[in-house]
Amino acid sequence: MIWRYRLTLIILLLTFCLVVARLFYWQVVKASELSLLGQSQYGKIIKVLPQRGEIKTSDNFPIVANKISYLIFSNPKEIKDKNKISLLLSKILNTKESSMSAQLFLDRFWVPLKTGLTTKEKENIEKLSLPGIGFEKQFTRYYPEASMAAHLLGFVGKDEAGQDKGYFGIEGYYDRLLKGKGGIAVQIHDALGRPILSRTNQNSKETKGSNLILNINRSIQFIVEEKLKKGIEQYGASGGLVGVMDPKTGNILALSSFPAFSLLDFQDYEQRLYKNPFISNLYEPGSTFKPLVMSAALNSKLVTPQTKCPVCAGPISVSGFDIRTWNNKYFKDNNMVGIIQHSDNVGMVFVAQKLGVDKMVSYLSAFGIGDLTGIDLQGEVSQPLPPKDSWYPVDLATKGFGQGISITAIELLSATSAIANKGVRMEPHVVGAVEDPNGKISKIPPKVLGKPISQETAKIMTEILVNAVNKGEASWAKIPGYRIAGKTGTASIPVKGRYDVNQTIASFIGFAPADNPKFVMVVILDRPTASIYGAETAAPIFFDIARDLMLYFGIAPSE
């Protein structure tokens, strides 16, 4: 009898082991697979679309925000009277009936019909209770200040996979921070399809992108854009740029360029307009480059402000090339102050020759010329300085007055800011802080790029530039009572290897107040027709903006 009991026990134990093994297989080995299968039966997976981070100006105003819009889609298999519905929808959505009809006759379960519908439009269509028509909530970019700072901001387009992607400017540079992470939520329902629980597995905070707080001052940007537009029109220029920077921190306060594009309808504009000319276009700076070369010579103690120019009595010949002043006027024994005041090309040839190639290259590199400034915008370019052994004497001479060298406007702004900031060059920066989805703000600290000149040299150069404003060609436009340091520039445009004297880049760079600068600003006009000279076109725009900025900053006249 005992063997029977034992046999039964063994059978029971084996059966128990089998059950345990099977349970282990389903509950451990196949657990995740079954869980997914279960979810697909009782739940519906909902894609949580990422909400892109906002871009705010320094006053916390969202210059780029998100608004809710809707994608209208259809399930053609559920629509019986396709002709009637395509006619109805084409009228409401303001699209061609033929294209709407073509979409509805597709043999698919899901066909997108139109994006960017407003809440009101969506509600109007919903009232019609059309079969096979649905909506998907989306976030699209919204620009409360319309196309202000279009080049600076960039835009959001689609990538190869149809996902939102930032292009150009801040949208392009900070795309990874701005774009949220797409999430998934599961809507659980019962056997009849009624929802049991609202949602599970959702973490909406993870899906949102970070906000960016810019150093851009909305009021200054607005002033700059208004004045620049007016100036371009007034002087018949084909375009123009203005950049305003705080020399002490490198914060970009305003950056504007025209012609620009509409941020909402960017696809309707030529692609060449997407590039920000302030950081992507190279140009010959002309006389606005002279303060950099003069600072280098002063800092090297090769000249002093009182050093007389022994070759300034007439044109100078370098390697067979005759170099003249811009107005063919010559000042015998002109000193360094006079050379900058009269924007004397011959005098600058003397300074450049004193400096020599080695020191010229070394100082220009320290000023950041020929290198990227590191500004946090997509699309910055630079043209490296030629190697020292490939500099001919005429190259040294012409580069001394800003010809034969190509730089970007941001390079010039960044280099000149060193003169305004006691010889210290700061990295230009557009974004001041990043606000993560939890509301934590991380500030981006100012970064020192180097000290190309001493504080003493910067002070001397500032006085030379104040003198240039007070007594130079642009003195008629200056603001009475304020000490402003600045320099005009008129550079001929090289066309097919020759300089076209009638087509110029007119510019003015300066900073104010000279003793404690609040801003350094550059104004550049492309091919002005009312006058080809910087002193008659770019300079008045500079002073017009500076006047408003003095009021804005509450700076009282000092003289």
Q: Residues interacting with other proteins, by CB under 8 A?
A: 61-62, 65-68, 119, 142, 144-146, 148, 188-190, 194-199, 218-219, 222, 515-516, 547, 550-551, 555-558
Contact 490, 528 (CB under 8 A): no
Distance CA 447, CA 426 (A): 6
Tokens at 357, concatenated? 């190639």
Name which of 314 and 557 has its Cβ closer to other proteins: 557
* Least Cβ distance, residue 61 to other proteins (angstroms): 7
* Least Cβ distance, residue 200 to other proteins (angstroms): 11
With a CB cutoff of 8 Å and minimum separation 6, the contacts of 537 are: 231, 235, 237, 506, 525, 528, 530, 531
* Least Cβ distance, residue 483 to other proteins (angstroms): 10
Distance CA 149, CA 216 (A): 10
CB pairs under 8 A, 24+ apart, for 307-313? Answer: 307/335, 307/336, 308/333, 308/334, 308/335, 309/333, 309/334, 309/335, 309/336, 309/339, 309/344, 309/346, 309/347, 309/350, 310/350, 311/346, 311/349, 311/350, 312/339, 312/344, 312/346, 312/347, 312/350
Name which of 23 and 551 has its Cβ closer to other proteins: 551
Distance CA 248, CA 427 (A): 10
Q: What are phi and psi of 156, to 5 degrees?
A: -110, 120
Name which of 204 and 531 has its Cβ closer to other proteins: 204
Name which of 67 and 308 has its Cβ closer to other proteins: 67
Distance CA 127, CA 124 (A): 5
Please, what sign has the CA dihedral across residues 229, 230, 236, 242? negative
* Overall residue count recorded for the chain in this entry: 559
* Least Cβ distance, residue 248 to other proteins (angstroms): 15
* Least Cβ distance, residue 244 to other proteins (angstroms): 16
With a CB cutoff of 8 Å and minimum separation 6, the contacts of 554 are: none
Name which of 42 and 331 has its Cβ closer to other proteins: 42
Name which of 62 and 132 has its Cβ closer to other proteins: 62
Name which of 187 and 406 has its Cβ closer to other proteins: 187
Contact 418, 449 (CB under 8 A): no
* Least Cβ distance, residue 100 to other proteins (angstroms): 26
* Least Cβ distance, residue 481 to other proteins (angstroms): 8
* Least Cβ distance, residue 556 to other proteins (angstroms): 4
Distance CA 243, CA 527 (A): 18
Name which of 39 and 66 has its Cβ closer to other proteins: 66
